[in-house]
């Protein structure tokens, strides 16, 4: 079993893993980057630079509510 140490560069320390992201068609570049592992998350969030670099296609817009309770529309992509 692979074990990862908590990343001490963030406060509080948190679990990160390396993920590989690519277009669903399998063509184009692959990006590998560190990702915060949040087992309570309802969504997976990626940086806009990843969307741009992989030229991802928009799937939908969904309503999301953050810690402050403010609802906002966010764009979703297929990865």
45 lies in some domain: yes
Per-residue pLDDT of the chain (79 residues; tens, 9 = 90+): 777 778 888 889 889 988 999 988 888 889 999 999 888 888 888 999 999 999 999 999 999 988 889 999 999 998 8
Q: What is the pLDDT of residue 20?
A: 92
Residue with token string 């966010």: 74
Neighbours of 56 (CB within 10 A): 20
Closest CA to 31 of 44, 43, 15, 47: 47
For residues 40 and 14, what is the distance between their CA atoms, to the nearest angstrom?
13
Contact (Cβ atoms closer than 8 angstroms) between residue 50 and residue 75: no
Q: How many domains does the chain have?
A: 1
List the domain range (segments joined by +) for residue 55: 6-77
| pTM score of the predicted model | 0.73
Q: What is the pLDDT of residue 3?
A: 76
1 lies in some domain: no
């Amino acid at each position: 079993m692979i074990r990862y140490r908590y990343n001490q560069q963030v406060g509080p320390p948190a679990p990160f893993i390396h993920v590989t992201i690519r277009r669903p068609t399998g063509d184009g570049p692959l990006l590998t980057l560190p990702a915060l592992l949040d087992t309570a998350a309802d969504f997976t969030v990626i940086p806009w630079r990843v969307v741009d670099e992989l030229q991802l296609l928009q799937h939908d817009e969904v309503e999301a509510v953050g810690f402050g309770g403010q609802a906002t529309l966010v764009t979703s992509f297929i990865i």
